[in-house]
């Protein structure tokens, strides 16, 4: 009897500790098993965006502080994405653009293919710049509050040439396959301004969620209407990263979620507006537009 009781206690101990120590593992092949708000939420991300259905809005310009600077950073493969964290004392900040607070940058990471679609078109890569309210201590703390976290998303379009601005990033990305998951590699020079489109005036805005478990809602999303170029060779470097189980991370995007009763707003960039109304401003705007196209402004999403 005593032995039986001891065995029972032992089994309970083993089971209890197994529950405590087993971290929740998730992957993109089994989205239906994602927990909590991923399953039950009504304001989930990503969504399909369309100018036809979005409401045009007039937002003030974004104010980016400490964004056009070069940083030392660290990158790691966390088993779900390549994630960059800056090594800085003063963190870059964003405000304006219709945001109700000032938000500090927590991390930058990538999804391939894109998570958001535009008129159901999916892009090869999407960059997320995850920010939290500067009045909160951390991202985790800010996630507890509606509007505590804001993500800026940049969509990439395929370009025949590799953009040399990202050379050091891709060199480091290739090195991640030589180290363990979650082991960091340094990036000596990261020009943060390169991670945003040059024209930051046009964007979609809606309220959604994190796109990975636990899919916490209350996240304010900005998806820029201007993208950045990337080559097929560069996208392939991402898909060579390994998952926790050792396979290639072929893709890491969540499927499109229901809009439900949410409203999506869009701010049209004035540059785009001018080029569209060329009947009025054609002689001035066309050379300007060509100039902007050369600079990479011309790829409207």
Per CB under 5 A, the list member of 80, 116, 128, 185 interacting with Zn ion is: 128
Please tell me whether residue 80 binds Zn ion under the rule CB under 5 A.
Answer: no
In the bound state with Zn ion, the residue whose beta carbon lies nearer, of 44 and 275, is 44
Residue number with the smallest Cβ distance to Zn ion:
128
Residue 103 CB burial class (10 angstroms; 0-12, 13-18, ≥19): buried
Binding footprint of Zn ion, residue count (CB under 5 A): 1
Minimum Å distance from CB 301 to Zn ion?
17
Stretch that binds Zn ion, among 69-77, 121-129, 265-273, 288-296 (CB under 5 A): 121-129
Residue 9 CB burial class (10 angstroms; 0-12, 13-18, ≥19): exposed
In the bound state with Zn ion, the residue whose beta carbon lies nearer, of 107 and 168, is 107
Q: Are 292 and 199 contacting, i.e. CB atoms less than 8 angstroms apart?
A: yes
| DSSP conformation letters of 167-228 | HHHHHHHHHGGGS-TT--EEEEEEEGGGGS-S--S-EEEEEEE-SSTT--EEEEEEEESB-E
Under DSSP, is residue 10 helix (H, G, I), strand (E, B) or coil?
A: helix
Minimum Å distance from CB 4 to Zn ion?
51
Tell me the sheet residues that pair with 267.
Answer: 203
Rounded Cα gap, residues 112 and 97, in angstroms: 26
Minimum Å distance from CB 211 to Zn ion?
5
Q: How many CB atoms lie within 10 A of CB 201?
A: 19
Stretch that binds Zn ion, among 2-10, 87-95, 125-133, 173-181 (CB under 5 A): 125-133
Minimum Å distance from CB 290 to Zn ion?
34
Residues 188-247 that bind Zn ion (CB under 5 A): none
Rounded Cα gap, residues 39 and 48, in angstroms: 18
Stretch that binds Zn ion, among 11-19, 128-136, 224-232, 268-276 (CB under 5 A): 128-136
Under DSSP, is residue 43 helix (H, G, I), strand (E, B) or coil?
A: coil
In the bound state with Zn ion, the residue whose beta carbon lies nearer, of 69 and 244, is 244
Minimum Å distance from CB 246 to Zn ion?
23
Minimum Å distance from CB 129 to Zn ion?
9
Interface ranges with Zn ion (CB under 5 A)? 128
């Amino acid at each position: 009897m005593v032995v039986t009781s001891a065995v029972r206690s032992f089994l309970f101990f083993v089971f209890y500790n197994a529950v405590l120590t087993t971290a929740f593992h998730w992957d993109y092949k089994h989205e239906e098993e994602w927990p909590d708000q991923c399953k039950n939420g009504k304001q989930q991300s990503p969504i399909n965006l369309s100018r036809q259905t979005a409401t045009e809005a007039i937002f003030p310009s974004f104010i980016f502080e400490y964004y056009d600077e070069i940083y030392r950073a660290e990158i790691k493969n966390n088993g779900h994405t390549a994630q960059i964290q800056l090594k800085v004392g003063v963190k870059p900040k964003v405000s304006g653009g219709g945001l109700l607070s000032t938000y500090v940058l927590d991390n930058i990471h990538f999804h391939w293919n894109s998570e958001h679609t535009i008129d159901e078109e999916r892009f090869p890569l999407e960059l997320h710049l995850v920010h939290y309210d500067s009045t909160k201590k951390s991202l985790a703390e800010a996630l507890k509050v509606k509007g505590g976290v804001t993500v800026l998303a940049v969509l990439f379009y395929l370009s025949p040439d590799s953009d040399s601005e990202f050379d050091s990033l891709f060199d480091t990305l290739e090195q991640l396959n030589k180290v363990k998951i979650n082991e960091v590699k340094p990036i000596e020079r990261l020009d943060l301004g390169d991670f945003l489109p040059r024209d930051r005036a046009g964007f979609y805005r809606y309220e959604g969620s994190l796109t990975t478990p636990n899919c916490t809602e209350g996240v304010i999303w900005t998806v820029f209407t201007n993208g950045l170029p990337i080559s097929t060779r560069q996208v392939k470097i991402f898909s060579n990263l390994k998952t926790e189980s050792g396979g290639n991370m072929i893709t890491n995007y969540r499927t499109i979620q229901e809009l439900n009763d949410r409203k999506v707003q869009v701010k049209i960039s004035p540059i785009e507006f001018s080029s569209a109304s060329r009947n009025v401003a054609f002689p001035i705007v066309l050379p300007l537009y060509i100039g902007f196209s050369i600079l990479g402004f011309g790829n409207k999403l």
